[in-house]
Each structure stands twice: as structure tokens, then as C-alpha cells.
Amino acid sequence: MPLSPEQAAEIEEQRRHSQATLRAVSPGMESHLYTAYPVLDHGFVRVIDYMGDDAAICQAARVSYGKGTKSVQNDEGLIRYLMRHWHSTPFEMCEIKLHVKLPVFVARQWIRHRTANVNEYSARYSILDREFYIPAEDALAAQSVVNNQGRGAALSGEEAERVLRYLRDDASRCYDHYEEMISDEGQQGLARELARMNLPANIYTQWYWKVDLHNLLHFLRLRADSHAQYEIRVYAEEMCKIVSDWVPFAYSAFEDYRMGGATLSSKALSCIRRMLVGETVTQESSGMSKGEWREFEAVIGK
């Protein structure tokens, strides 16, 4: 289960109490507080706290006191301008703190984004739960033959059953040994910080992850992309829903300019200009490599 009974009881207790505040609040984000959204088989994402909203981005950009006399339309236009011209500092004025439960191998990908504050559940002091990520059968895929970092066709039938059996059996066996090592009958038992080293990478861990909006959007641009690994992408997709309610103007601009837009090289722009005046441009005459040309064709839908 994503939440333990103790965590669920604690969250329910927190939800029952509210306090008046003079700070800026985002109604969309308020609805997400203390709610754990399931991800994968045992994981979740939930908002612990946040700071700022769309207005805070504009306030920082204008360096003004309060909202002033600017209209909502002006705020949206300013945010789009900031996003369009890569002005990152105003977006850093908003922050979010998340509680995330995720498999260790996903956490090791996630932690490569070194622009956040992280505090992880300690297996030196506490005993990890017997919870492992076991993929659904349709998420089992062979290694891609064209991309060393990607997946190919899905496994099926006996091959898929064999892989799932290995994953379940190996995880269970490792955890059995982990339990035995830390609680040997009649003996002191191995230190938890040593016993944990035989646990598989699909065991679940938890952490608090605090990040500003600028760096969060960079994370989402990479990890919510269709080319990202599925197991981290589903976390990013859940976070996108939260961010879209928290800062709707900023997220709309992010979708438009980052997720839905494209960055073109000077050579690519030159090719487009030549095409617009009727010139036939090929890879050989473009000045681009074959890889660049394939990506260029994908962008212009050729």
C-alpha cells in the first residue's frame, strides 16, 4: 500500500486543522495539501508545503510591493515573456516541498538533478519495509536495438512470466536474508547500515524533496518527456498536474515554450528560411549531420 496506516492517520489529522495566514496562497495548491497521489505499485507523491504563486513570479520580476495595479492579463503576459526569454530568477521565488515514495533505482536517476534539498529515509537507523516495485506485464520490454538507453518491444508469454518470477523471487529472498541478518536469534545481529547492502534496487525508499519552480520545471521538461524512462516519467506526470493547479499561468507558458516548443540551431533556422523561399534543402546541403537532420525533420513534421 502507498501509505502506511500511521502516515494516513497523521495526514488525516493534519487535514482537520487549518490556520489563517497573511501569506500569499494558491487555491489550486491548497486543494493538494496532505493528499498522497499513488504512483506505480507502492509509490506516491504528496505536497508538504509550498511558497508563492503566479503573482509572486510577477512581483519578483517587477520588484514591487503587493500586486499593484497590474491586471491578470498583464500578469499572464509577463510570465509568458519571462518564459519565452529564459528569465529564470523570478521563477526561483516559488518553492515546493514534496514527500515522495519511490524505488531506489528511480531515486538514483532523480538525484542527478542536484538543484534541490533532499532528506531521505535512513536505512542506517530504520528498517526498510518489504515493498518492491514489480512492473506490470505491459511495462516489461526488451532492450532497444537502436537506443542503448531505451526499450524495445514488450515481452510477452512465458518470457514475461519468467522475468516477473525472477523479480519477485529475488526481491523476496534478499529481504528474507536482510531480516535474518538484523535479527539473528540469540545474537546481536548485523548493523542495519551493513545489512541493507544486499537489498535490491527495486525496494522502495522515501524522501522529502524541496525545489524552486525554475528547477522543478527543468526536471519536468526532462522527466515528463515521452523519451524518459517510464518509472520516473509517471512521477513527473503526477507532479505536472499539481504544478498546473499551483501556478496555472507559469505552467501554461511552460507547456507552450518548453514542452510543446523546440529549440533550433542557426543551421536549422537557415534551412527553414531557404525552404520558405521555395528552395529544396537536403541533409547534404543543410550543413547538418544525419542525426541533426533526423531531429530537424521530426520538428518540422517532414
Residues labelled as active-site residues? 223
Give, in degrees to the nearest 5, the angle at Cα 203 between 192 and 172.
85
Helix (H, G, I), strand (E, B) or coil at 31: coil
Q: Tell me the CA end-to-end span of the chain in Å, nearest whole number.
A: 46
How many whole angstroms separate alpha carbon 82 and alpha carbon 62? 11
CA dihedral 58→114→253→61, nearest 10 degrees, is 20
Query: Please, are residues 130 and 241 in contact by the beta-carbon 8 Å criterion?
Result: no
Mention every residue, 6+ apart, whose C-beta is less than 8 A from residue 201: 103, 104, 105, 108
**Residue 205: partners with Cβ closer than 8 Å, 6 or more residues away:** 101, 102, 103, 104, 107, 120, 121, 123, 128
In order of 151, 154, 223, 241, the CA distances from 144 in angstroms are 4, 10, 19, 30
Strand partners, 189: none
Query: Do residues 39 and 235 touch, judged by C-beta distance below 8 A?
Result: yes
Query: Distance of CA 44 to CAs 26, 101, 203, 276, 294, Å?
Result: 22, 5, 14, 49, 37
Can you say whether the dihedral through the CA atoms of 242, 243, 249, 251 is positive or negative?
Answer: negative
CA proximity to 239, closest of 136, 133, 102, 118: 102
